[in-house]
Amino acid sequence: MKKSITFAGGCFWGVQAYFDSLPGVLKTTVGYANGTKEQVTYEEVCSGNTGFVEACQISFDENQITLEQLLQKYWKIIDPTLKNRQGNDFGPQYRTGIYYNLEDEEEIGTILQQSRDEIAKKNSKPIMTEIKPLEIYLLAEERHQKYLEKNPNGYCHIKW
């Protein structure tokens, strides 16, 4: 069965490349989540003034990879204790977050919160990763889709 989840983990290029490498992930796109405009550009998002976060939307086959498994992978590639920052990237557009479709809230809300609680037990600092409904998701410009595939030596804060 096909499902989707949206993860923010700093620069979206590495998040997309990482999840593209996992069996059971059917499709990924990068875009801008939960901002305040109906249209936005990368440059506007980089200003930090739009409310948007760089994010990767992941469609997956839950018969091949579960949401719980995706969450375990997600927590490994971010530092959930950092606010508005991952790697060398700073600003609210680089905050960490997990965004779900509202129609899935009852089904996955508990899974997401339990996963976050488990990570909190393993950290002495507070967890800054937000978990919220996906209010808006705008696709990033084509030059950002599969960026690290197109630019193998491009910047990535994720080490895997």
Hey, which residues are catalytic here? Answer: 11
Pairing, β 2-9 against β 137-139 = unpaired
* Largest interatomic CA distance in the chain: 41
The DSSP line for 103-155 is GGHHHHHHHHHHHHHHHHHT-SSPP--EEEE---EEEPPGGGTTHHHH-TTS-
Neighbour tally for 93: CB within 10 Å: 27
